[in-house]
Structure 1
Amino acid sequence: MDGDPAVEPELDSFSLTFPLPYRVAFIVVLAVWAWGANLQYLHLVKIDVPALIRYPGRSSPHHPPHHLSTYRFATVLSALLAFALLLFWVFTHRDPVLVVAWDWLPVTYLGLLLALLLAPLPLPLPGAFFSGRHHGSYNYNGHGHSLSHDLSGAGRSRLRSMLRRIAVGGIAEAKDGKFGDILLADVLTSYAKVLADLYVALCMFLRPDERGDGGATARPDRACGGTLVVPLVLVAPSAIRLRQCLIEYGRARRGGAGGGQHLANALKYASAFPVIIFATLQRNHAQPADGGADAHGSQEEARSYFRLWVAACVVNSLYSFYWDVAKDWDLTLFDGQALRSALSHPFGLRRRLHVGPPALYYAVIAMDLLLRCTPWAVKLSGRLGRYADAEGALFALEFLEVFRRWVWIFFRVETEWIRSTTIPPGGGPSLLSSSSGGAGGGGGLLGTIEENSVLLSDFEGGDLGKYEDED
C-alpha cells in the first residue's frame, strides 16, 4: 500500500520539493509549536497544565511562562529547518539525481533535531534573543539583564525521562506525573506513521538499494530492513498504551477497585493490531514475485485481506471515537436519554465547559469522527483511492492525524482538570484521591480548590453546583 511502485515508479514532484526526511522533521517541529499553543490557550482559560503533569511551576516572575519557552525552542528549530530546506533547494534544483545525491543534508538536520530534543545538551543563547517582558535566563549581570538562556533545558530533561519510562510501557504513579505519561503515550499513537517514516528515512540512508543509487531522499521504500520492521514500528505506540492500561488495571485491583474500564481501554488499543496486521498481509500479497496462477491467487488473497483491513479499521475508528467522547472528554453524548438531555448542561455535553462555547464542542465531536474515519474512507473512494498511496496524500493524512490529536489534547486536559478540581456533592472543597478520574485519568492532589479559581473560565457561568463524573 504505502509507497507502491505501481503508483510512484520514480520520485514524484512532491518528493522532489519536500523529501521524506524533511517531512518528518516538519511534523516534529510542528508538534513543538502545537504544544506551545496548547499550553498558552489552556493557561488563558485558567487550566494549570504543569500542575496536572507534575511539572515544576515558575519560581520567579522573571522566568518566562511555559508556553513562551516552548515557542522560543520551536523558533530555533524552525529557523534551522528553514535554513536546511532552502540550502537543499539551492543545491538540488529539484533534479532527481541531485535530490538523491544530497540526501545527507536532510539526514544531518534530522540528527540535529533529535539531538536538540533528546540529548542532555545545554542550549545557551544570547539574552537579546529573549528581550521583552520576561527574561528567559536564570543568570543575570550586574544590571539585571539576561546574559544567556538554557533553552527549555528542564522541559527537554523531563521529556527524556518520560520517554525512557514509557518506551517499555511504563507509567508513573499519580503523584509522580501519571497523567503526563498517558498524554505523551497517546500522542505517540498519532505519530506512529511519522515514527515509521523516520525509520524508513534512516534505513534508506544507511542501506542504499542494490544499484547503490538509493538514499534517504529517494522514493520511500517502506520494506527497508524487512517487511515486518515498519509494521512493528507502527504497532509500538499502541502496544505501549496497552501495557500502561494493564498496569493501571493491576493497580486498581490491588487498591480494591474493579478496574474494568482500564481493560476496556486496553481493548481499544489492542484493536489497532488487526489494522496493521491485515494491512501488512494485503501489501505483501498485492505484489507477487511471479505471474500465472500463483499471481491470480495472491491477488485474491490481497483483496480478502483488504476487506478484513477495512472491517478492522471501522471497528478501531468507531471504538476510538466513542472513547474520545465518552471517556477521554467525559461528555454525555452516548449516555442514557435522561443524562444526555439533562437541563443542567447542553445536550450531550457536560456541566462545566472551559475550552469554549457548546458549539465548539459539537464541531470538535464531528471533526473527531470525520478524521478518525478519513484514512480508510479515502481508500474506499473510487476517485480518491487511486491517489491514497501517493506521497503527498500520505503526508496529508499524517498531518490531519497530528492536527486531530492537537485538538484532542485541549479537551483531554480540560477533562483531567475538571476531575481534579471537582468539589464532591454534599461537601466543601476537598482533595481528590489519585484514583479519581476513571479509566486513564491522571487524578492527583492539586491543593485546595477555591470556587472562583474553578469558575473563572467556565462558559456557562453561575455557581459551581454539582458535577458528577460520568466515569
Structure 2
Amino acid sequence: MDGDPAVEPELDSFSLTFPLPYRVAFIIVFAVWAWGANLHYLYLVKIDVPALIRYPGRTSPHHPPHHLSTYRLATILSAVYAFSLLVFWVFTQRDPAAVLRWDWLPLTYLIVLIGVFLAPLQNLSNAGRGRFLTTLKRVSVGGIAEAKDGKFGDILLADVLTSYARVFADLFVALCMFFRPDGSATARPDRNCGGAFFVPLIMAVPSLIRLRQCLIEYGRVARGPQTAATGWGGQHLANALKYFTAFPVITLAALNRNLGPSPGLYRAWVCACLVNSLYSFYWDVAKDWDLTLFNNAHQRNAPDQPFGLRRRLVLSAHLDRISDFESSLFVIEFLEVLRRWIWIFFRVETEWIRNQVTLGVAPDDILLGDYHFKDDDEDED
C-alpha cells in the first residue's frame, strides 16, 4: 500500500519500485509510442496526417512511413528505459536507503531522454525531432502559426501539453528534490518543493498557452474581413474561456493543499472541476470533433453518425477525481495522456473531413460546426 508505515515518511511503497523520475519517463516514452500509433492507424485509413500539419512528405517511396520512424525512436527509448529500470531494481531491491542513494540513475535516463530529442542524431527521426522542437519553441510562448504554415499542428501540440501539465509538474518536483540539500529525487514526492504555488504555476502554463493561442486567433479574425464562414471570432473567445476554467481548479486545489481542510474550499473546488469538465466534454464532442451528440434527433441519428458518433472511432472516458496516493496519481496522469491519445484520433479525423468537404475556404478558418457532412450517396453523384 502507498501508506505503508514501514517506509513512511521518506518513501511510499509504490515509489520503492517505481520512483517518480521513472514514472515521468514512462509517460513520456508512452507518448512517443502513442503518436506512432496515431500516425499508423490514420495512415491505414488513408488520412494524411503530415499533410494536415504541414509536415514535409517522404521524398522517396523507399523511405519508411512516418509511423515506422516514430516506432523506431520509441523502441530505442524503451530499450534504454528498460535497461535503466532493471539496473535500478537489481541494485536497490526495494531497500529504502538504496532507493534514495541511487536517485542519480533515473535522472540520468531523463537526461538521455531529453538528449535524444535535442541531439542531431542521423537515422533517428532527425527531421521529425527538428520539426517538433521548432514547433515546441513557437508554441511554448503561446504562439501559433498561420493556417498555411501548420496552425493545426501547433494546436495539436499545445493541447497535448495541457494533458502533460501534471507530468511537467512532477518532473520539476523530482529535479527540485534532487538539488535540495539532503534531498533525493526518488524520495516520497514533495509537491510543495520550491514553494507552495510553484507547482500549480507549472500546471497552469499549458492552459495559458492555449488561451493565448485562442486570443491570437480571435485577433486575426477581428482584424480580417468578416464572412459567414469566419464570423466575428466569438467561437475563439468561447474556446479561450474553456481553458480559463482550468485556472480556478488549479488555484483551489493548491489552496486546499496548503491551507488545510476547508469544506468551503473543497466545495468550490468541486464546482470548478464540474464546470471545467462539462465545458471541456461539450467542446470536445461538439466543436473539436464535430459530432452530433448534442444536436437534434435527426442529425444525431444520421447514417454516418449513429448515436451522435462517427463510425470510425470511439469516445474516451474522462477521469477527474484525484487521490493523495502516489500510485493513484500516476494512474490518473497515465489515463489523461491516454485520453489525449484517443482525442487525437477524433481531432485529426475531423480536420481531414473538413479538408475533404470544404471548397473555396481555408479549412483552418472555418468555424467549427459551420459545415454539413455529405451523405455517401451524394458523394457518388
Alignment TM-score, normalising by the size of structure 2: 0.92
**Distance across 2 between alignment mates of 1:418 and 1:97:** 56
345 and 154 in structure 1: CA distance in 2 versus 1, 3 angstrom threshold? same
261 and 105 in structure 1: CA distance in 2 versus 1, 3 angstrom threshold? same
1:182 is matched with which residue: 139, 155, 173? 155
Confirm whether residue 403 of structure 1 aligns to residue 338 of structure 2: yes
2:211 is matched with which residue: 217, 222, 242? 242
In structure 1, the gaps of 5 or more residues are: 125-149, 287-298, 380-387, 424-429, 442-453, 467-471
Deviation at 1:215, TM superposition (A): 0.7
Confirm whether residue 87 of structure 1 aligns to residue 32 of structure 2: no
Deviation at 1:409, TM superposition (A): 0.4
Amino acid at match of 1:232: L
Number of the residue aligned with 1:326: 286
Confirm whether residue 155 of structure 1 aligns to residue 124 of structure 2: no
**Distance across 2 between alignment mates of 1:410 and 1:310:** 30
Amino acid at match of 1:172: A
What SS does the aligned partner of 2:306 have? Answer: coil
Greater shift in the superposed pair: 15-24 or 431-440? 431-440
Residues 160-191 of structure 1: per-residue CA shift (max 9 Å, x gap): 11111011100000000000000000001001
Amino acid at match of 1:438: L
**Distance across 2 between alignment mates of 1:399 and 1:53:** 25
Number of the residue aligned with 2:307: 347
Contact 1:53–1:178 (8 Å) recurs in 2: yes
Contact 2:285–2:293 (8 Å) recurs in 1: yes
**Distance across 2 between alignment mates of 1:19 and 1:419:** 44
Contact 1:8–1:390 (8 Å) recurs in 2: no
**Distance across 2 between alignment mates of 1:440 and 1:206:** 50
Contact 1:262–1:440 (8 Å) recurs in 2: no
Amino acid at match of 1:346: P
1:392 is matched with which residue: 327, 330, 334? 327
Amino acid at match of 1:437: I
113 and 440 in structure 1: CA distance in 2 versus 1, 3 angstrom threshold? farther
**Distance across 2 between alignment mates of 1:36 and 1:409:** 12
341 and 440 in structure 1: CA distance in 2 versus 1, 3 angstrom threshold? closer
Contact 1:175–1:434 (8 Å) recurs in 2: no
Deviation at 1:228, TM superposition (A): 1.1
Residues 11-37 of structure 1: per-residue CA shift (max 9 Å, x gap): 122100110000000000000000000
Deviation at 1:437, TM superposition (A): 3.4
The alignment yields a C-alpha RMSD, in angstroms, of 2.4
392 and 60 in structure 1: CA distance in 2 versus 1, 3 angstrom threshold? same
Confirm whether residue 375 of structure 1 aligns to residue 320 of structure 2: yes
Identity %, equivalent residues: 66
Matches within 5 A, 1:137-152: 150-152=123-125
Question: How many residue pairs end up in the alignment?
Answer: 371
Number of the residue aligned with 2:270: 310
Contact 2:208–2:243 (8 Å) recurs in 1: yes
Number of the residue aligned with 1:230: 199
**Distance across 2 between alignment mates of 1:344 and 1:91:** 56
Matches within 5 A, 1:182-201: 182-201=155-174
What SS does the aligned partner of 2:320 have? Answer: helix
**Distance across 2 between alignment mates of 1:73 and 1:187:** 19
Number of the residue aligned with 1:115: 115
Greater shift in the superposed pair: 90-99 or 23-32? 90-99
Deviation at 1:243, TM superposition (A): 0.3
Confirm whether residue 418 of structure 1 aligns to residue 333 of structure 2: no
Contact 2:135–2:154 (8 Å) recurs in 1: yes
Number of the residue aligned with 2:248: 274
Contact 1:54–1:176 (8 Å) recurs in 2: yes
418 and 390 in structure 1: CA distance in 2 versus 1, 3 angstrom threshold? same
Residues 424-462 of structure 1: per-residue CA shift (max 9 Å, x gap): xxxxxx453255432599xxxxxxxxxxxx99xxxx865
In structure 2, the gaps of 5 or more residues are: none
Contact 2:54–2:149 (8 Å) recurs in 1: yes
Deviation at 1:348, TM superposition (A): 1.8
**Distance across 2 between alignment mates of 1:344 and 1:313:** 33
Residues 317-339 of structure 1: per-residue CA shift (max 9 Å, x gap): 01000001000110111123443
Contact 2:277–2:320 (8 Å) recurs in 1: no
Number of the residue aligned with 1:284: 258
Which protein shows a greater Rg? 1
Greater shift in the superposed pair: 302-311 or 167-176? 302-311
